[in-house]
Structure 1
């Protein structure tokens, strides 16, 4: 009974703590004007964005095209000025990724990939998505999500104290919270859609085009057969979003009868001429189980069946079940010995073996080491001890670092593959690989009124890529294109 009374008192104290926290954490939402719980201040939001922006730029790299960078900044600043938080110092950037995506960090940092820029077919589509991303910032969605997670987790802990039976359902309760957070995210997406319509309309664009772009997103996601079920997705169904946005656009435009809202198809397509489309082989590519980097002139093997991911700062590859992986990046240090010392310090390693060697004529050091664990957790995590095989290779003024990692108890299973990759790092001299160029968008004028399919075939698009370019042009293959219309094709 005493234990039960103690738990009751602890529960009351916890509830009082939550109550005091709630009283002191209310803030006015800039978009809705309503008072709501908020544990993240505006200063913290800005700081979060400022701290994360360098990592985003390092991960993707900025796309080197002054026209696009100036365009997104000009339109972004124009839209930010009429938003609910015009006082923020916004930054707008196009990042060098083929993935079709746009995202925002708290505090006013907004990013569009070159992949999504390639899939817009006019300025109005772009403006709608731009307004959507600014909406995430102005509605403080990151701060609201973080607040919701904090209070939901605290509520679960308090519930476990008050009703011990809940502790036995901890995993199930945690999964329920994850679904709740997905719901929050979907609500935020809907709110941002509304703001995208509002903001793009206010600066003069036809938000009906934003609705149409959801048709493109639906096709990119694989349609109804390829989509994740709505209740398990962080984004609402694209088809539903298209209908909702079209209705919202009509309502906003009805408030300005007789006004012409801009689409600006030709201006936008002209700006896309020469845009790198798809993966850029100049930044490295995988072919026939080898990774090649034409700019840095090196190559090494990729184990068969391993998944790969490339970025400007590192190349990663991993076994399908996640039991082993390897990473290539640059090591700090002005010599191999110094690079080895810095690597040991950086990853907190206990070196088991070390030797200087020569790999295909290049000076190198190989290490085998364990990651040193926190003594308090060492016994608990004994079965999760990670072991690394590291190759440091001096070449072309850089020190390249190849790291193979697996659990210590299975390290022997993977060491042969780690060794094979490291010791087959080599210079690249094959002209075919060195001269590999990316595809680039070409904006072509249709010579005769015909279908999109016939026009694409006339521009040399092969049959197995017709659907891809149908999506890229935002229209079905049987759509009629008029003589003189501009459509997207590719070349080098």
Structure 2
């Protein structure tokens, strides 16, 4: 390639130089945040813009997380706690919207402008009002500290800095500035998370909630992540299964939150465990009926009317738009979903012309699965980790729609391929009896009777693997700790 002779950068003429000076002056403007008392650069996102951005993204959150949980009493309960906390913040200009999402994922987050979300999965894990207040207070802290505006403004500053550096002749500086922008926009920083913890504790204490419960619940979420890793066959990989994975390590946050809570003047803090447990008694646990159910190795969808089964050892994960199954080795997986036929006349045509029109297919076969027309084919797939093999199976459900299995593995051995085909051919339509037997799981709060043990109550839950560990994490009961007669505990039961 022919290289052009480098041209020395010219000194900017006055209008450009004046513009650069003005831009730098505007970008360097800082204000003092009333919540943190710190000087903060948020010049490029005003409070009005925060409200607009939050309102715009609220609908996307509803779509992504299954919408609000359909229980007005629980929604009102969470809103009451949230508004109580919000009344003790430093930003009376923010009007908060608190929403319980119909998701079993343990999660909570906030959007700019005062939109705060908790999932029913997180509520199931909490054991008293103060623990829930700690989560909500933390998310309110992100709002009052204006972390979204700070992140956006600093990211834009880094991008503008890259442009300025390039204009002034420093291309390498510009590249570094762009890398800095990417880092700023990647997520909450360690300092921002700890700052939100600190503010949350302040709001808890000001509202009468026991601030020590924030650290207690952080520890519980850490144990929940460890359990999820154990259930997935990956003990020691808890960070992959925690909503805290993009946050500072749980241990550090627990220690700092506990230390901050101890600095608060002791008084009659509220925890209100009994009121909280009464509120969530009967709440859905796990999969929502509208998304179908994972039951061991079986996925069944009563409203859509089908089921299938994956091999022993595979872990089924139910999502909003698809179902995934992951093998114990973590390298072999299955993705199941539905798709429109787009005019395809048969399953083989659907695979070749609609689903994978540009893929080099081989071994195409027509099948019949539970009396429904189907087809399968094999194709190589290039990934960042190298080439893998995929088996595609399409089943025609009706004139306009297909269900499809995508099986992916590094090496399509006869054993792996047989497992894939067994999964696909296990697909069948549900009978009336099948539908009647599929019931959602719910939380039930019971009182421990004299002589009852953890093992006794854990056996009442519909889990085959690690029932005692599940029960202890759900109720925040440490290993080896016995139950007390009269104690209220949560059970998961088939409704």
Contact 2:155 2:182 in 1 (8 A): no
Of 317-326 and 466-475, deviating more is 317-326
Query: Equivalent residue of 1:488, what SS?
Result: strand
| Counterpart selection for 2:222 from 195, 218, 234 | 218
For each residue in 1:334-393, what CA deviation from the matched residue of structure 2 results, as whole angstroms up to 9, or x when unmatched? x999xxxxxxxx99x99999xxx9986679999xxxxxxxxxxxxxxxxx9xx9989695
Q: TM-score, length-normalised on structure 2?
A: 0.71
User: What corresponds to 2:106 in structure 1?
Assistant: 100
For each residue in 1:110-149, what CA deviation from the matched residue of structure 2 results, as whole angstroms up to 9, or x when unmatched? 1111111011111111111111111112222122222222
| Counterpart selection for 2:300 from 292, 301, 308 | 292
Contact 1:336 1:392 in 2 (8 A): no
| Counterpart selection for 1:246 from 247, 258, 262 | 258
Cα displacement (A) at 1:418: 11
Query: Equivalent residue of 1:82, what SS?
Result: coil
User: What corresponds to 1:60 in structure 2?
Assistant: 65
CA separation of 1:235/1:8 partners in 2, compared to 1, >3 Å: closer, same or farther?
farther
For each residue in 1:161-184, what CA deviation from the matched residue of structure 2 results, as whole angstroms up to 9, or x when unmatched? 7445568x879x84x766666795
Contact 1:365 1:392 in 2 (8 A): yes
Query: Equivalent residue of 1:222, what SS?
Result: helix
Cα displacement (A) at 1:13: 5.9
CA separation of 1:137/1:424 partners in 2, compared to 1, >3 Å: closer, same or farther?
same
User: What corresponds to 2:457 in structure 1?
Assistant: 459
Query: Equivalent residue of 2:92, what SS?
Result: coil
Contact 1:390 1:404 in 2 (8 A): yes
Cα displacement (A) at 1:419: 11
Which has a greater percent of helix?
A: 1
Query: Equivalent residue of 1:253, what SS?
Result: coil
User: What corresponds to 1:490 in structure 2?
Assistant: 492
Of 53-62 and 204-213, deviating more is 53-62
Query: Unmatched 5+ residue regions in structure 1?
Result: 338-345, 367-383, 407-414
User: What corresponds to 2:337 in structure 1?
Assistant: 328
Alignment of 1:68-83 (within 5 A): 68-83=74-89
User: What corresponds to 2:131 in structure 1?
Assistant: 125
User: What corresponds to 1:23 in structure 2?
Assistant: 26
Q: TM-score, length-normalised on structure 1?
A: 0.72
Cα displacement (A) at 1:253: 2.8
| Counterpart selection for 1:202 from 206, 212, 235 | 206
Cα displacement (A) at 1:89: 3.1
For each residue in 1:377-422, what CA deviation from the matched residue of structure 2 results, as whole angstroms up to 9, or x when unmatched? xxxxxxx9xx998969565x9956659699xxxxxxxx99999999
Distance 2:226 2:315 in 1: 21
Alignment of 1:31-430 (within 5 A): 31-32=35-36, 34-61=39-66, 62-156=68-162, 162-164=169-171, 174=179, 185-222=189-226, 225-226=236-237, 228=239, 234-253=246-265, 259-280=267-288, 283-286=291-294, 291-299=299-307, 309-315=317-323, 326=335, 328-329=337-338, 399=401, 402=404, 426-429=428-431
Distance 1:234 1:432 in 2: 41
Contact 1:283 1:294 in 2 (8 A): no
CA separation of 1:352/1:22 partners in 2, compared to 1, >3 Å: closer, same or farther?
farther
Distance 2:197 2:290 in 1: 36
For each residue in 1:29-50, what CA deviation from the matched residue of structure 2 results, as whole angstroms up to 9, or x when unmatched? 3423535243223233222222
| Counterpart selection for 1:469 from 452, 467, 471 | 471
CA separation of 1:14/1:184 partners in 2, compared to 1, >3 Å: closer, same or farther?
farther
Distance 1:18 1:472 in 2: 57
Provide the aligned C-alpha RMSD in A: 5.4
User: What corresponds to 2:383 in structure 1?
Assistant: none
Contact 1:297 1:434 in 2 (8 A): no
CA separation of 1:15/1:135 partners in 2, compared to 1, >3 Å: closer, same or farther?
farther
Cα displacement (A) at 1:4: 5.1
CA separation of 1:303/1:43 partners in 2, compared to 1, >3 Å: closer, same or farther?
farther
Distance 1:22 1:416 in 2: 66
CA separation of 1:154/1:425 partners in 2, compared to 1, >3 Å: closer, same or farther?
farther
Distance 1:267 1:489 in 2: 17
Distance 1:432 1:472 in 2: 29
Query: Unmatched 5+ residue regions in structure 2?
Result: 228-234, 346-353, 362-366, 377-386, 409-416
Distance 2:373 2:17 in 1: 61
For each residue in 1:183-219, what CA deviation from the matched residue of structure 2 results, as whole angstroms up to 9, or x when unmatched? 9521111111111111111221111111211221222
Distance 1:490 1:323 in 2: 31
